[in-house]
Structure 1
């Protein structure tokens, strides 16, 4: 009831932050976000390359990410992996609100690009 009236108070009760509950985002959801960020950052991939995928372990407020990808060859592997690490950490942090102290990039396979193979007389 409001002070001095017989009308009930319609304002919701204010619940202290420590008693409001928590939001938990499943590891597989964070992994899908990380995989999409890796696809964005990896640049053009060979047509026969598998799409990047990720595995994630969330512990407290930190996501430890492992990204698996395939790249065309020749390429600057170090630079592309660095860009994937940077972009994945940025996107996961921005979209999920978790700290990303580690993004391990595992290059599963290198695909010889058609232009490079033809220039060197190689065929499949």
Structure 2
């Protein structure tokens, strides 16, 4: 539509610009954030350990996270897993603004630290 002076006239906007559309963050993006947060929380990994990885299911801005990791042994497994849970929640909330009601941490493998020696064990 044009006006009498030849200018283009735009139809009235019903929805304010700041409220148009939606932002969707893919599950895999949230999973990458959770994986990085887990790496930050556990600190240095044992030499032959795989880095943490996460899987995420997002539904209506609620992210349910599963983190899979390997730890050095001996260590306080419960405390380290709690630290991972807290940090993952903090980072996901801060970076994507999603609610994270659940972070399941799966310790897939324990690596004997060099200080305790792989050859040491029970002897007869």
Structure 2 counterpart of 1:60: 60
Structure 2 counterpart of 1:36: 36
Q: Deviations over 1:42-81 (max 9, x none)?
A: 1211010000000000010100000000000000000000
Structure 1 counterpart of 2:107: 107
Structure 2 counterpart of 1:83: 83
Structure 2 Cα separation of the partners of residues 58 and 83 of structure 1: 22
TM-score, normalised with respect to structure 2: 0.82
> Any stretches of 5+ residues in structure 1 without a counterpart?
1-5
1:18 Cα deviation (Å)?
9.0
Structure 2 Cα separation of the partners of residues 19 and 42 of structure 1: 39
| Number of corresponding residues | 115
1:21 Cα deviation (Å)?
1.0
Residues 1:23 and 2:23 are matched in the alignment:
yes
TM-score, normalised with respect to structure 1: 0.82
More displaced, 16-25 or 38-47? Answer: 16-25
> Any stretches of 5+ residues in structure 2 without a counterpart?
none
CA gap of 1:109–1:102, structure 2 versus 1, over 3 A, is same
Stretches of 4+ moved more than 2 A in 1?
6-9, 12-19
1:16 Cα deviation (Å)?
3.3
SS in 1 for 2:111: strand
Structure 2 Cα separation of the partners of residues 47 and 104 of structure 1: 24
SS in 2 for 1:48: coil
